[in-house]
Structure 1
């Protein structure tokens, strides 16, 4: 159960890592590993925070987490689409520039809000929290790194449209989060 949960929580981070790597094909593996580490830490941290605060804030978090995640992903995705359009017009190559720390941080938060809700649920179901917290973080780290490598590979095929494709993926993830919680 915990492994399946960890994989399902990691999917959003995987999509974000792939879109970042796709829009920055010159991204070094070391930077990609740091990005994946950020995703893993936030997934673990939010799960732990959810478990820790289960009884106090569950009703408040569930009401707004999907909107916050959607807005963060939509804003970041829109910026990437805009940068992709400017890239096509200017023809300038920015592939070697790593994503800004703000972009990585906002994506880490946005993709880990579901983990907060899961942590709240786990807090009510069980007292054992170490295994789920560690497993969720490690699975997210590993899968987002592999997704980032796949994104780098994909970027060589869609070069000029990579930034826009990454932005569209983030929009899709945001819409999926929103629809999952609203329906």
Structure 2
């Protein structure tokens, strides 16, 4: 796999995480660059590990991963997006991490895992081609870190424009990302 193909692969693997980051940034109150970078690094680390897991599983679990990856991502994103929509109709709760500008770690990890399941399936495919899995995984992780950091910061700007609806819109975006993943896999 040449450098150009690897770059396109890395960008493709980071697009759903980017959309989720925009949603997360829109739900946050004034995320700082360090907060956005921490979220980007979390997503990037998870997105680095998942193709390696997929590659390691290789042909042993290829059918199981391909058969269920889109459903797992869909239900995780549906649940997380639904939760954001549900919370958007409630009263402001200053104890809730997302309301004070710092999303709860579990929600971030689940979102990162949900958006990286496809990278695990790609890792399975990479086991059968001539590519350095370390180089591929690091490229995917780096692209995801950059895209998520930018997404959180862009989401914050969008959040200021939409006011109280930011969390609701963010939840809808997560549901749409999950639905898109499901539709793409079912129609392939």
Alignment TM-score, normalising by the size of structure 2: 0.91
Aligned-partner Cα distance in 1 for 2:36–2:143:
15
Q: Which residue of 2 aligns with 1:99?
A: 103
Correspondent of 2:152 among 148, 151, 155: 148
Unmatched tracts of structure 2, length 5 or more: none
Aligned length: 180
* Structure 1 gaps, min length 5: none
| Residue in structure 2 matching 1:31, options 26, 29, 35 | 35
C-alpha RMSD of the superposition: 1.4
* In structure 2, distance between residues paired with 1:92 and 1:127: 48
Contact 1:58 1:120 in 2 (8 A): yes
Give me the TM-score of the superposition, normalised by structure 1.
0.93
Contact 2:93 2:99 in 1 (8 A): no
Q: Which moved more, 1:53-62 or 1:123-132?
A: 123-132
Per-residue deviation, 1:56 = 1.1
CA contact (8 A) 1:26 1:96 kept: no
2:137 counterpart (109, 133, 136):
133
In the other structure, the counterpart of 1:119 is 123
- Name the CA distance, whole Å, in 2 between partners of 1:66 and 1:18: 21
Alignment of 1:38-117 (within 5 A): 38-86=42-90, 90=91, 95-117=99-121
